[in-house]
Structure 1
């Protein structure tokens, strides 16, 4: 079964200054192309679960490990550094669904040096995710 996303992020090209992820993917944004005879139904929005940085396009699944990750009161902070020093372009990946079933990714500007993702959590689940890249 094929799943496609039809979603306008409203973000300019790779040079956009402040990358961000949508907090939820609404059901209308998720299109399922089932085999003949099946009718798709998406019951509810998929919630943003995590953010990652990729080296190269999403199909390569080259997820970079954070340079630092620390727990803070009410959440966690993940940091990636020296992003502009490698060969491959870097991508910001927004991961949706309880097990990160859907990823939306976009290239970061070539000049991006670092990204910091702050998770605010309640009972172990992200309630807000803030992204700052420079």
Structure 2
């Protein structure tokens, strides 16, 4: 059986707070305080790694999950895992995968002052445990 990105993301091996993610999009997401987001696919996040967004779309976001979230902390010594997630030679990213279905609540949504003063939106989220 070939290892997939979803299989790696669902192999929870840690719980980390203060994960971050950078996005550049062609549109504004409209994040609002209190909004609940359910991840549709597994997502790459980091806790202080070096990551460069590989597109020049005009709307930039910096997202942060403040509390601990169960995730898969990438093992950069595991070649099969790196190949499955497309992270060969990316150990400076300190990647963590959060599985699809994870629920996050927006605690600080889009504020125009962020975009005006910094050129990007800063969004804060919190992990919501399933009941």
Fold similarity call, TM over 0.5 = no
Q: Which has the higher contact order (CA 8 A, sep 6+)?
A: 2
Select the structure that is richer in strand. 1
Select the structure that is richer in helix. 2
Computing the radius of gyration from Cα coordinates, the structure with the larger value is: 1
